[in-house]
Amino acid sequence: MLNRDDFWDALPALTSVTLIIKPSWRTVEKDEAGFVDTSRVDPTDQVDTFCALLNTQIAPRKNIVKLTIGYDASGEHAEGLHARNKLLMPAPVLPLRASLHLDPTLPPIETATLQDAKMLRQVIVRFSHLEELTLRNCWITPSSLLQFVWLHDECKLKHLSLESVSLTAILRATGNAQAANVGQNAGAGHVAPQALWNHANNIVAANAAAANHHLHGQGLNNHIQTLIAQLQQIQANAGNNQVHHQAHALHAQLQNQIQNAQPPNAQQQQGNGQNLTQHAPQQNQQAPLTLAQTLQLTQIALQANALQQLAGQNAPAAAAPANASGGDENANSLLQGKPREGSWTDVIDQISPGTNLSDFDSQHSKAKPDRITALESVSFVSCGYAKLAHLNVDQSTIEARNDIVGNLRHSVFAKRYTALSALMMSSKWAHLGDIVQEVDPTELAVLDAAWNFHTGWDDAEAARAVEFDGLLPGGTGRFSGKVQRSDRVRTEAESDS
């Protein structure tokens, strides 16, 4: 109804437009027999309609210089167990098919042929006359955001604001997701969480050694005792009641596992068929853990890793090291690391009109030194990552590791969620995203060191409201900040000119 020339032509003095769309989930249909049915529809089907409206009516008009577009009743702007941080719609700046860079009708191996920057530039909506643009409450792929910004370098766009905008992973065909995840984590350079992650790997390695009669239950228990010591340290330093209670719960769980780790006798081990070794332990030597027990311990180690991440994100400023020079050295070392491809660090480095990683002598900056743009600032308000949970592609690089901790804290909501499920409409649409309440602590440290970004929400009451929907506090895994041309490090040649 809005895609009409006569409507917009009647508003020649219009300079600022805000279009916030509430998606439809049902449509009314009447068949030939006269029966009326309210059938369900994919809410993302109308993204192309939204995109066409922008392309046909908004983009060509010289009088419109300020635009805000996005969605309501989804993502961080939704409420309820089945809606909060879910149902996230794709950014309406390019057609739906192109937003994924793939065609679901094609075999996975052929999707790579559509990941073409030239193709993206052809289909992205070009706002030639806009000076200010705000994208609100949507998801976008890293390459789409890059091409969108670079396309508008040639236009008049001065201020870009991203409010509750989430990046997806680089969408790759499924196949070896675990290997990709390990490779990306190795390049990201995890700091504190990596230590506990290594302990989890050590438990698995120790279990393999037990199968070869090199290590038995006591060796594994030593690893668990090390985990307990780390958890106690988290308890002492976190300065956060929620983290304290989680650490206490995991500590009790670990102790319980150790007490029950030893099977009563070798005959029972052989009887249950779960023992990793076919030989009874030697005298005065504890029996190796069973496979089921080792898997439980490994899961607990992963919980400890997630807890370490949460503690790092919520640690008070007073817990920071007093040695300022040491902090500077640590920040510099982080800035020298190679950012994960498609991460926010990687993207901001390339779209920033101000400072980028090259200003910190990073050898991994992809910023264009000869870039010419009218862009003066890019603002970020509660940005992070989103996963397309019902799309069969590899998204392992942004998988959350603290879901176990979240379920531990909010298990009371599980029954409510299940009870309401029978009454809810299906939301298993491929283009709907779920917000990931997690950002790698190393990346957050880089964002802070390079561009002075901060995490979380300033509104404590709004953040607490998210917990009543069974999730971590609002703002967890989200960051805010601003990059602007005025912060740019000027070279000697530029200063002379």
CA dist., res. 135 & res. 372, Å (int): 23
Q: Is the pLDDT of residue 92 over 70?
A: yes
- Residue 419 banded pLDDT, cuts 50, 70, 90: confident
Q: Give the type of residue at 65.
A: V
All residues at 6 or more sequence positions from 228 whose CB lies less than 8 Å from its CB, including other chains = 251, 254, 255
**pLDDT tens digits for 9-61?**
999 999 999 999 999 999 998 888 889 988 899 999 999 999 999 999 999 99
Q: Are 439 and 384 spatial neighbours (Cβ–Cβ below 8 Å)?
A: yes
The whole-chain average pLDDT of the chain stands at 74
The whole-angstrom separation of Cα 316 and Cα 330 is 18
The rounded distance, in Å, linking the Cα atoms of 134 and 66 is: 8
pLDDT of residue 168: 95
Lowest-pLDDT range of 244-258, 326-340, 455-469: 244-258
Two tokens at 381? Answer: 């308000």
Residue 402: band (very low, low, confident or very high) from pLDDT cuts 50, 70, 90: low
Measure CA of the first residue to CA of the last residue in the chain; give whole Å. 52
Q: What is the pLDDT of residues 179-228, one digit of tens each?
A: 333 333 333 333 333 444 444 444 434 444 443 333 344 554 555 556 55
Distances (CA, A) of 146 to 173, 272, 282, 480: 21, 56, 62, 19
Cβ burial, residue 1 (10 Å; 0-12/13-18/19+): exposed
403 or 191: which leads in pLDDT: 403
Q: How far apart are CA 160 and CA 180, in angstroms?
A: 32
CA–CA dist 137, 162 (Å, integer): 8
Q: For residue 60, which of 13, 126, 154 has the smallest C-alpha distance?
A: 126
Amino acid at 364: H
In the numeric block, the tokens 């992809």 are attached to: 366
Q: For 403, phi and psi rounded to 5 degrees?
A: -60, -35
Which of 53-57, 417-421, 484-488 has the highest mean predicted lDDT (pLDDT)?
53-57
What is the SS3 assignment for 434? strand
- H or E, element range at 315: none
pLDDT tens sequence across 423-432: 888 888 999 9
Which residue type, as a one-letter code, is found at position 141? T
Helix, strand or coil, per DSSP, at residue 297: helix
pTM to 2 decimal places:
0.70
Task: Give the per-residue pLDDT at 475.
Answer: 94
Of residues 172 and 278, more confidence is placed in 172
Backbone angles phi, psi at 135, to 5 degrees: -100, 130
The residue among 123, 112, 168 whose CA lies nearest residue 430 is 168
The per-residue b/e assignment along 429-445, b for 16 or more CB within 10 angstroms, e otherwise, is: bebbbbbbbbbbbbbbb
* pLDDT of the residue at 237: 53
409 confidence band (pLDDT: 50, 70, 90): low
pLDDT above 70 (res 300): no
- The amino acid occupying position 55 is N
Q: 276, 208 in Cβ contact below 8 A?
A: no
Burial (Cβ within 10 Å: 0-12, 13-18, ≥19) of residue 254: buried
- Give 237 or 349, the one with higher predicted confidence: 349
Q: pLDDT above 70 covers what percent of the chain?
A: 61
pLDDT above 60: residue 102: no
* The pLDDT of residue 412: 74
Q: Where are the domains of the chain?
A: 5-177+337-496, 190-329
Percent of the chain with pLDDT over 90: 45
275 falls in which pLDDT band (50, 70, 90)? very low
Residues comprising the chain, all counted:
497
Answer for the pair 29, 39: CB distance below 8 angstroms, yes or no: yes
Q: Read off the pLDDT of residues 141-151 as tens digits, 9 standing for 90 and up.
A: 999 999 999 99
DSSP 320: S
Q: Supply the DSSP symbol for 22.
A: -
Is-contact 402 310, C-beta < 8 A?
A: yes
Q: Both tokens of residue 156?
A: 């008049």
Task: Please give the distance of CA 397 from its chain centroid, rounded to a whole number.
Answer: 9
